Structure 1
Amino acid sequence: MSVAAPAPAASADPPSEEPVTTPGHRPREWPTHLTFAVVALAFGVYVTSGLWSDPYTHVLADNVGDQAFFEWLMGYGYYTVTQGADPFFTHLLNAPNGVNLAANTSITVYTVLFSPLTHLAGPQISFVTVLTLNLAGSAFAWYLFLRRWLVRNAGAAAVAGLFCGFAPGFISHANGHLNWTAGWVAPVVIWQVLRLRQPGRWLRNGIVLGVLLAIGFSIAAEGLFFTALASGVFVLVWSIAKPVRAEAREALPTVLRALGVTAVVAGTFLGYPLYMHFAGPQTFSGTGFNQRYFVEDAAAYLSFPNRSLAGWLGWHADLAPNRTEETSFLGVPLVALLVFSFFLIRRRSDPGRRATLRAVGVVGVVFFLLSLGPRLNWNKHEHDDIPLPYAALVHLPLFDSALPMRFALVVVGVFGILLALLIDQLLTRRRPSNRIGVLHTALASAVVVSLLPIVPLPLRIQLRAPEPSFIADGTWKKYVPAGGTMSALPFAANVTADGQRWQSYTMARGGRQFRIPDGYFLGPQSNDEQGRKKEGRIGAPPKATDWLFLRAAWYGYVANVNNGDRAQARADFGYWGLDAVFLLPEITGSDHQTLNRSALETTARALLGEPEVTDGGVLVWRIRRGVDPVDR
């Protein structure tokens, strides 16, 4: 393990070329770091350029729902800061039951830090800003980590850092996931884990790691779980290697003391969030996603992603559940190159570096197998007769809430480490023999050939309905009392996200708010009388009335509304505490789906009667609970 602190020779394994320095004078590295930071930021802006071109009317075409959810969280962050609301539970969504945000991806640190920007520019700007900084920051964090712990050549760390930050899996998750694009959490946490062994600094290092774990949990809890698991596997495998066994035994007391401090600090910060996550109201088991469906197809590792140069040329493969979950897609050239390079680098390394490589390799294999899920899938075919390790883990705590295919993102980090080591050797070895020179030339060419096909393209965007004046100028307040409930039509869901967006914009402005029924979130199917947890699901269990509207918008189906439907609507409106519903002239579909506004308006008129018409052509129906809708 390459470390800067004094260490026995077995683990020191310094890179092949030391920097030339004047005695007592360290080289200035900040210009190099700053240059790479600018490059990484420029690359992040390039990937998100479609949103930046018009953030108020452009939306990620491959995941409209998740963008709306994270914009809602940004708006709720400002509401939390200014109103003193609970950051881990809200009654503004899913009226009247509320939503457990600790059991969702609440990105609390981001929502609080960016609350001034959210208030001044809107959740749309905060969303694209965080997304861009996540991608660039991930590349920069990996660059610094690799430069500090594994390689001295800045070029090697830079190429590998860009790979880790903008790998196909993270570009795929850039379609709406502010949690998974926070790939910087892994290198930052691992950096601090490696520092736990420093003699005499167990207290400081334990405190720092505890704070980092609290931050990581609030931003990317699932990613932090993967990082902790990978760190544990690495440390265990590295510690039992014969060349470093004595060193690991000597460092063990210091590490244990530091971990004790970490547990106290992290427990102090995370006590309430963890309680809410596992035992608070509206908790659930699982995620609502099928763990046999959201698995990595083994053939996907050898394929190219959709949003890449190779995909642009038509070489991509349709092997992911959706375009947001292309978590591997590294391509045959890169996989073959890095597997070969692993054995080549290991053969050239000293015993200490071999111990590190062995541990890194085991992490890669373990997470590759976990990503395949409980059964082997190859080229869209599930082999029921080939169970895999995840089958034994699927019901365990934490594993039951993870999607197996996302374990592939750890393999990206492993490949980034191998890529950095390979390029470092290619750039630092001097005057190779003719035979070795030919091999180096071939390897250098293979690096270029392997990386070019997965160079990302900008994220796809589509138009979305602009914020109506009905929301922007506060006209809605005429129809909803303080603490009241209102909904856009169709009701908010992952595939009909407008209603949740309108609420997020009002929260970002401050002042009086309204609640909405339904929404896009993870919650329980229901809770029985004993309060036992139910399986998770996406959104609220639908009622007859919201399904009536969704069916009209999504399928264009116009129901023959009768008195039974009106009676059911009266009961549903009472359950939600609904005061008004409204329909805009323009509504946004999801993932390339156009909603049928005409069918929706026809259904609403048949059920609710004639609406009021406000400025901008917004149709509003007041709801008087206890009165048949058609009799108003």
Structure 2
Amino acid sequence: MAVVALSAAVYVCQGLWRAPYRNVLADNVSDQGQFEWMLSYGVYLLQHGSNPFFTTLLNAPKGVNLAMNTSSTFYAVVFAPLTYLTGPQITFATILTLNLAGSAFVWYLFLRRWLVRSGLAAAVGGLLFGFCPGLISHANGHLNWTSGWMVGIVAWWVLKLPEPGRWLRNGIVLGLLCAMGFSVAAEALFFTALASGVFLGVWLLSRRGLEKAKTSLKPVLLSLGVTAGVASALLAWPLYMHFAGPLKFSGTGFKMRFFSEDLVAYAGFPLRSVAGMFGWGSDLAPNETEATSFLGAPLILLFFAAMALLWKRSSPSRRITLRALAVVAGFFFLLSLGPRMRFMGEETGIRLLYAGLEELPLFDSALPVRYALIVVVVFALVIAMLTDEVVRSKGSLIRSRSGRIAAGVAIVAAIAPIAPTPLRTLERAPEPVFISSGRWQDYVSNHGVMTSLPFSLDVAVDSMRWQAYTMARGGDKMFRVPNGYFLGPQNYGESGRHMVGRLGPPDRPTDRLFLRAARWGQVPRITNLERSQARADFRYWKLEAVFLPAQVTGQRGMLLRDPLVQLATDLLGEPEQVDDVLVWRIRPGVDPVDQWEQR
């Protein structure tokens, strides 16, 4: 099973492996760049003993609260040796591949341990979740949301909590797992905890006989108490940074009502699938990375048929499990629909469950569309249980041979259309020799501020990439960059603790000029007014130099370089040609008006 899962993961990620240093995920260039930065920061963190939850390397001079971003500290530290030896590009592709394979394999083991007898049935369930449309969609840049293996391991240990006499051990292990899970994917850990709580609550309350319920409840409560103590001790620092640290904010910077599941999307087929190859894919997701459900009508119908069959013919103890799974699936289905019902791409006026939750802590930091992944877990478990009955020749709930054959055909027919196709890739700008050779050190002081053009933001992360690749190589010298692609407060105010989230820092006039030039070729007539504004912005950033490589990567391909050259020259004068980049020095304290006139 491990070989099958790994082979399937390599197949899905083959575009990255063909040219890992040049290819990038076409449907989410920016998030891949952001995660490469996070992985490189792991090398810098270990080398310099820096703060793992706050940095001033980005968004100079304010910095970034990494505890409120998808920093994935666990990956950054564990894979730091690989990042140092091969670069964050290889590390990113490695983790993404292992995440998909590991998710399938861990859930295969989970099923073998807890729910099914057949290895084939466990493999069907494991592969169904590990390569479901939701995980494949998130494979477009999200190392956190493809970490389904973490969810499986935590869920595994949650089911061990009722064991009598093991409450201390189970509580310690689960506390350690929670600390690990928080540093892998904090939002996914919250979903796992919520789903586990609902499942355990229904399961315990469904136990026959008051004494049995009391017997199970005591070790569960004792274990959870130990878990809370261990996890709180290990996560005290990151939780403080998240809830009360500098540059704290609330929300995600994304609109909840937009990033909600469309009701019809559950029955649709994903665009990047076998069905999508035949033109049957449905485009009802907020974007390519958040196509989280798309299970297809055949699989949904099969799920309900399987639930009915298993419920009718299972033992009372198995019915308890089915009931708990059904409640979890229904609850998370409602959460995934968000605060307002969306139908066929349009928002209706129907208020839903999430409308009463979206302002609550934790719920306000989660995108509703992602709750669908827990629904997919339940689908995978139930389909595995049905498959277990199909492959059993004796004692099967499906009594006739023809019935088992028909059920087997139905399983294949329901799963085959959503089988994934490889992730799409495109070429991005190669690392400039100016950066890789270390020549940049001649143009900026150690930990001084320098940037490539345009300034780094969600649609252009090259400046973060050049910094990331420099961090990954180690060494004592580093440069900081203004702006960046991260989540931060809407505005800083005097205290820097404004509570509304957004993508990146508040805009400044000069970075907007360069963005419009790069994306749309807009180069306005530069006057002394713009140069004076640039002086104020450069002073704010403490900027020492800007440079422009031969190519600039955007969200869907290369950005426009010639307008950037024209704009920077009009603003700062003629550049220097250094290796394969153009460089504009910015002398501290010199007005860009005077600097331009002197050149």
The TM-score range, normalised by the shorter chain, is over 0.9
Q: Is the 8 A contact 2:429 2:558 kept in 1?
A: no
Please point out which of 454, 463, 468 is paired with 1:499. 463
Q: Is the 8 A contact 2:484 2:504 kept in 1?
A: yes
Corresponding residue number in structure 2 for 1:24: none
Secondary structure at the aligned position of 2:488 is classed as: strand
Corresponding residue number in structure 2 for 1:622: 585
Q: Is the 8 A contact 1:486 1:579 kept in 2?
A: yes
Matched, 1:371 2:336: yes
The alpha-carbon deviation at position 434 of structure 1 amounts to: 10
Please point out which of 472, 475, 481 is paired with 2:436. 472
Pair 532,281 (structure 1): closer, same or farther in 2 beyond 3 Å: closer
Mapped partners of 2:210, 2:129: distance in 1: 30
Secondary structure at the aligned position of 1:376 is classed as: strand
Secondary structure at the aligned position of 2:545 is classed as: strand
Q: Is the 8 A contact 2:248 2:497 kept in 1?
A: no
Please point out which of 324, 348, 355 is paired with 2:320. 355
Please point out which of 396, 404, 424 is paired with 2:368. 404
Please point out which of 389, 412, 415 is paired with 1:451. 415
The alpha-carbon deviation at position 242 of structure 1 amounts to: 5.0
Matched, 1:438 2:402: yes
Pair 433,239 (structure 1): closer, same or farther in 2 beyond 3 Å: closer
Residue deviations 1:539-579, cap 9 Å, x none? 11110000100000011111111111000000000000100
Corresponding residue number in structure 2 for 1:631: 597
Pair 294,154 (structure 1): closer, same or farther in 2 beyond 3 Å: same
Secondary structure at the aligned position of 1:620 is classed as: strand
Please point out which of 252, 263, 268 is paired with 1:298. 263
Residue deviations 1:223-272, cap 9 Å, x none? 00000000011111111215365423212121111111111111111000
Of 359-368 and 619-628, deviating more is 619-628
Q: Where in structure 2 are the equivalents of 1:191-590 lying within 5 Å?
A: 191-241=156-206, 243=208, 246-384=211-349, 386-430=350-394, 436-511=400-475, 512-529=477-494, 532-590=497-555
The alpha-carbon deviation at position 199 of structure 1 amounts to: 1.4
Pair 454,434 (structure 1): closer, same or farther in 2 beyond 3 Å: closer
Corresponding residue number in structure 2 for 1:51: 16
Q: Where in structure 2 are the equivalents of 1:147-226 lying within 5 Å?
A: 147-226=112-191
Q: Is the 8 A contact 2:310 2:397 kept in 1?
A: no
Give the letter for the 1:391 counterpart: A
Pair 389,80 (structure 1): closer, same or farther in 2 beyond 3 Å: same
Give the letter for the 1:498 counterpart: D
Give the letter for the 1:373 counterpart: G
Pair 605,361 (structure 1): closer, same or farther in 2 beyond 3 Å: same
**Identity %, equivalent residues:** 58
Residue deviations 1:379-408, cap 9 Å, x none? 112111x11100000100000011000000
Q: How many residues align?
A: 594
Mapped partners of 1:473, 1:332: distance in 2: 55
Mapped partners of 1:258, 1:432: distance in 2: 36
Q: Is the 8 A contact 2:61 2:482 kept in 1?
A: yes
The alpha-carbon deviation at position 307 of structure 1 amounts to: 0.9
Q: Is the 8 A contact 2:69 2:486 kept in 1?
A: yes
Mapped partners of 1:368, 1:605: distance in 2: 54
Residue deviations 1:117-174, cap 9 Å, x none? 1000001001000000011000011000010000010000001101111100000000
Mapped partners of 2:396, 2:480: distance in 1: 70
Mapped partners of 1:125, 1:68: distance in 2: 12
Mapped partners of 2:591, 2:148: distance in 1: 52
Q: Is the 8 A contact 1:570 1:625 kept in 2?
A: no
Give the letter for the 2:481 counterpart: I
Give the letter for the 1:392 counterpart: G
Mapped partners of 1:527, 1:578: distance in 2: 20
Pair 250,433 (structure 1): closer, same or farther in 2 beyond 3 Å: closer
Q: TM-score, normalised by structure 2?
A: 0.97
Residue deviations 1:399-423, cap 9 Å, x none? 0011000000001100011011000
Mapped partners of 2:219, 2:397: distance in 1: 45
Mapped partners of 2:55, 2:224: distance in 1: 33
Q: Is the 8 A contact 1:90 1:100 kept in 2?
A: yes
Structure 2 residues without counterparts, runs of 5 or longer? none
Mapped partners of 2:436, 2:493: distance in 1: 40
TM-align CA RMSD: 1.4
Q: Is the 8 A contact 2:450 2:544 kept in 1?
A: yes
Pair 175,245 (structure 1): closer, same or farther in 2 beyond 3 Å: farther
Mapped partners of 2:110, 2:90: distance in 1: 29
Give the letter for the 2:124 counterpart: V
Mapped partners of 2:16, 2:279: distance in 1: 24
Mapped partners of 1:602, 1:433: distance in 2: 74
Pair 403,244 (structure 1): closer, same or farther in 2 beyond 3 Å: farther
Of 522-531 and 152-161, deviating more is 522-531
Of 435-444 and 410-419, deviating more is 435-444
Of 65-74 and 373-382, deviating more is 373-382
Q: Is the 8 A contact 1:493 1:519 kept in 2?
A: yes
Corresponding residue number in structure 2 for 1:64: 29
Residue deviations 1:525-547, cap 9 Å, x none? 12334665321001111100001
Secondary structure at the aligned position of 1:106 is classed as: coil
Mapped partners of 2:187, 2:130: distance in 1: 18
Q: Is the 8 A contact 2:103 2:149 kept in 1?
A: yes
Secondary structure at the aligned position of 2:20 is classed as: coil
Mapped partners of 1:254, 1:393: distance in 2: 30
Q: Is the 8 A contact 2:489 2:497 kept in 1?
A: no
Q: Is the 8 A contact 1:371 1:408 kept in 2?
A: yes
Q: Is the 8 A contact 1:545 1:569 kept in 2?
A: yes
The alpha-carbon deviation at position 625 of structure 1 amounts to: 2.7
Residue deviations 1:450-478, cap 9 Å, x none? 11111101100000011111000001000
Corresponding residue number in structure 2 for 1:18: none
Residue deviations 1:82-105, cap 9 Å, x none? 110111110000000000001101
The alpha-carbon deviation at position 593 of structure 1 amounts to: 4.3
Give the letter for the 2:597 counterpart: D
Q: Is the 8 A contact 1:91 1:515 kept in 2?
A: yes
Q: Is the 8 A contact 1:238 1:244 kept in 2?
A: no
Q: Is the 8 A contact 1:470 1:615 kept in 2?
A: yes
Secondary structure at the aligned position of 1:180 is classed as: coil
Give the letter for the 2:591 counterpart: D
Secondary structure at the aligned position of 2:159 is classed as: helix
Q: Is the 8 A contact 2:444 2:450 kept in 1?
A: yes
Q: Is the 8 A contact 1:51 1:128 kept in 2?
A: yes
Secondary structure at the aligned position of 1:243 is classed as: coil
The alpha-carbon deviation at position 514 of structure 1 amounts to: 0.3
The alpha-carbon deviation at position 611 of structure 1 amounts to: 0.5
Q: Where in structure 2 are the equivalents of 1:86-165 lying within 5 Å?
A: 86-165=51-130
Secondary structure at the aligned position of 1:580 is classed as: strand
Corresponding residue number in structure 2 for 1:26: none
